[in-house]
Structure 1
C-alpha cells in the first residue's frame, strides 16, 4: 500500500497588499518585485500591478513573473486609464487587512513599507504617508526644478482644503487599513493622479495621519507622466471636493472647454469677416466648425483622457461630435425661440437657457456616443 503524499501547507494569506499602478513601466517591473521581496522579507505580502494596457508590454512582464511567484498579481485594464482609478481597482481587489500604494517607477523608497505596516498594526495611525516634506525627507533628487515648483504649488493649494495638517498631500506613497479604505471608497472621485488627496478629502472625518520621511529617487527607466492634462485634472479634483461633488467633474471640464470654443469661434469670425472678405453668415459657420474641432481635440485630450480616441476611432468620433453639436445648436435656437415667443423669459435669459440646454445635451450625447465607456 503506497504512502499518501504529505500535505503541503498553503502559503499564509497576505497581511499587506502593495498596489503598483503602471503605465509603460515594463523595464521597472522585475526590479520592483526584487526590491519588494528584499524589503518585505519575513512578512506575508502580495503585489498587484495594475496596468493601463501599456503598449510596452508591462502587463506581459508582470504576468510572466506572476506565473512563477504567487505573491504577484496583475490587472490589465482595457479602455480605462488613470492612476487614481487604477489604485482604487487594485485596492478593491485585495483581501489583505492592510493596503499600500507605491509608484511603479522605483522613485519611492520601498524599505519604508515595514515601518508603515507596523504603525498601522499598532493602531498608531489610520493613514501612513511616505513624505518628502517632513524632517529627514527629500524631493530634490527625483524632481526637475519645474516639477519641484509644480509639486510645491499643488501642495499649497491642497492644504487649504485639508481637514488636518499634511506636509506632503501630493505623495503617491502611502498605506492604510483595508477597512478604512472600504468605508470611503464609494465617495472617491477616482479622477487624475492624486489618489492620496482624494482619499483624505473623501473621508467623513479627519483621519489620524502619520508621515514618515523618505528621499524621492531619480527615475531609472521610462518617462514621467506629468503633463498639462495631469495638472488640469488635479485642479479639477480640488474644485470637485470644494463644491462637494454637486456637479460631475467631467461635466465641469466639458463646460470649461466649451468656453474656450467661444473664444476660438470669435477669433475665426473676426479673421474671416472682420479682417477678411468672407460674408458674415459663412464666417459664422467657419467659426462654429473651428470651435467644434477645437472643443473635440481638447476634450479628447483632457476631459475624456481615460477614454481617449486614436486613429480611425478619433476621426469617427470627430464626425459624430459635429453631428451631436449640430443637433445641440438647433435645440439651442429652438428652446430660446419658444421661451422668448411665449413671454416666459426675456431674450437674455432665453438665450442663456438655450445655451445651458445645449451644454447639457452635448455633454450627455458626447459621453454616451462619442466617448462611450468601453
Structure 2
C-alpha cells in the first residue's frame, strides 16, 4: 500500500477567515454563522469561534454548527481568557491570507465583510477598519456616558499610533495575515483593543482604509463591558510605553500596591494620633492587615480579572492571600519597627521601607497560591 505524500494531497485553503472571540454567546452563534454564510456566498471562507470556556455552552453550540458545516471551526480555551489574546490565537490557527475580526453578539455589520475583502485586495491595503466615526457610521443607541468614554479613549489611542485613524478602538476589521505574522510576538494581547495593539506594534505605518458601519443592538445575552475595560485599556497603553520586559500583571499589581500605600498610611496615621507613638507596632500591624485586604480585593477585581474568585472561593482566596503573605507582612512590620525605633528614620520612611520589602514577596507567592487558575463565572 502506498501512502500519499503531503504534497500530493489537495485541499482548499480558505481565502478569508472570520475570527469571532466569544464568552457566553450561546444565543447568538447560530444566527451569526447563518448571516456570515449568506453574506460571503461565493467566497472561500471559514468561521472560527474562539471561546473562553463559556459556562453557557457557547463552545458546544458552535461545535454543533461545525458538525453541519465544515467551514465552521471551534477553539475552546481552558485556562486562558481575554478578547485580544483570543483574537490572536484564532488568527494564528488558520492558513487564510485574509483575517477578519468581529464580535459574536451581532453588533458588527457582517454585510460589510465583502466590501472589506474587495478593498483590501483591490487597493493593496494591509488593513480595513469598520469605523463608527467616519461619514456614514454611527454608534447606535449608546448612552451619553459610553459615547463620551469611547471618544476619550479614541483620542488617547490616536496619539499612541500617530496615524489618521478615526476609530482605533473598533473591534471590527480585516487584516492581511502577513501583517499579524510579522508583529505577533510584540503584541501585548491585553484587554479588548486588539486593533490598537496591531497599529501601535507595526514597525511601519500600515496602509489602511476605514469603511463606515453603524453599531447595532445585541442579538442576545448581556454586555461584557464594565469599568474594568478602561483599566485593561490603560494597562495595554502602559505596556506599550514601557515595553514587553515587564509583565502586564506585575504592572497592575504594582499600581494597586501603590494605592495600598495610601490605604496603609490612611490607617496608620490616625491610629498613631489616637494611641501615640508608643503603639507604633500595633498601629503598623493593623495598617498592614487593612492594606493587605484592600490589595487582595482590588487585585481579584482587576489584576486577576480573568481568574476572579467568587463566593466561597473568595473567602478561601483571601485566607490564602493572608497566609502566604505572612512572611512578607512579618518582614514589613519587623523592618519598619526596627527602623522606627533603632534607625530614627521617622514613622513614614519606616513604614514605607516595610511596605517595599513585603511587596516583592506578595506578588511572587500570590501568583502561585491564590489565583491558581481561571474560575467558572
TM-score tier (shorter)? 0.7 to 0.9
Aligned match of 1:95:
95
Aligned match of 1:368:
368
Q: Which moved more, 1:363-372 or 1:207-216?
A: 363-372
Aligned match of 2:58:
58
- Say what the alpha-carbon RMSD is for the aligned residues: 2.9
1:215 aligns with 2:181: no
Aligned match of 1:117:
117
Is this contact kept in 2: 1:107–1:142, CA < 8 A?
A: no
Offset at 1:59? 1.0
Offset at 1:121? 2.4
Aligned match of 2:15:
15
Evaluate the alpha carbon distance shift between residue 38 and residue 11 of structure 1 in structure 2; reply closer, same or farther with a 3 A threshold: farther
Output the CA distance in 2 between the equivalents of 1:273 and 1:221. Answer: 55
Is this contact kept in 2: 1:81–1:305, CA < 8 A?
A: no
Evaluate the alpha carbon distance shift between residue 142 and residue 184 of structure 1 in structure 2; reply closer, same or farther with a 3 A threshold: farther
Aligned match of 1:258:
257
SS in 2 for 1:135: coil
Aligned match of 1:284:
284
Is this contact kept in 2: 1:50–1:75, CA < 8 A?
A: yes
Output the CA distance in 1 between the equivalents of 2:263 and 2:249. Answer: 21
TM-score, normalised with respect to structure 2: 0.87
Output the CA distance in 1 between the equivalents of 2:293 and 2:339. Answer: 30
Listed as ranges, the matches of 1:120-139 within 5 Å are: 120-122=120-122, 124-139=124-139
Deviations 1:295-327 (A, max 9, x none): 111101110112222344433322221133221
Is this contact kept in 2: 1:143–1:218, CA < 8 A?
A: no
Aligned match of 2:6:
none
SS in 2 for 1:211: strand
TM-score, normalised with respect to structure 1: 0.87
Is this contact kept in 1: 2:281–2:337, CA < 8 A?
A: no
Aligned match of 1:34:
34
SS in 2 for 1:25: coil
Output the CA distance in 1 between the equivalents of 2:296 and 2:103. Answer: 31
Output the CA distance in 2 between the equivalents of 1:268 and 1:260. Answer: 13
Aligned match of 2:315:
315
Output the CA distance in 2 between the equivalents of 1:361 and 1:165. Answer: 45
Deviations 1:55-98 (A, max 9, x none): 21111111111111101111111222111111111111111111
Is this contact kept in 2: 1:29–1:61, CA < 8 A?
A: yes
Offset at 1:353? 6.3
1:237 aligns with 2:242: no
Is this contact kept in 1: 2:285–2:333, CA < 8 A?
A: no
SS in 1 for 2:63: helix
Aligned match of 1:4:
none
Deviations 1:269-297 (A, max 9, x none): 466665689x6544433332221111111
Is this contact kept in 1: 2:97–2:176, CA < 8 A?
A: yes
Output the CA distance in 2 between the equivalents of 1:254 and 1:65. Answer: 41
Offset at 1:152? 0.6
Aligned match of 2:143:
144
Output the CA distance in 2 between the equivalents of 1:353 and 1:291. Answer: 15
Q: Which moved more, 1:209-218 or 1:267-276?
A: 267-276
SS in 2 for 1:160: helix
SS in 1 for 2:100: strand
Q: Which runs of 5+ in 1 are unaligned?
A: 1-8
Is this contact kept in 1: 2:28–2:220, CA < 8 A?
A: yes
Aligned match of 2:4:
none
Output the CA distance in 1 between the equivalents of 2:299 and 2:88. Answer: 24
Offset at 1:253? 1.0
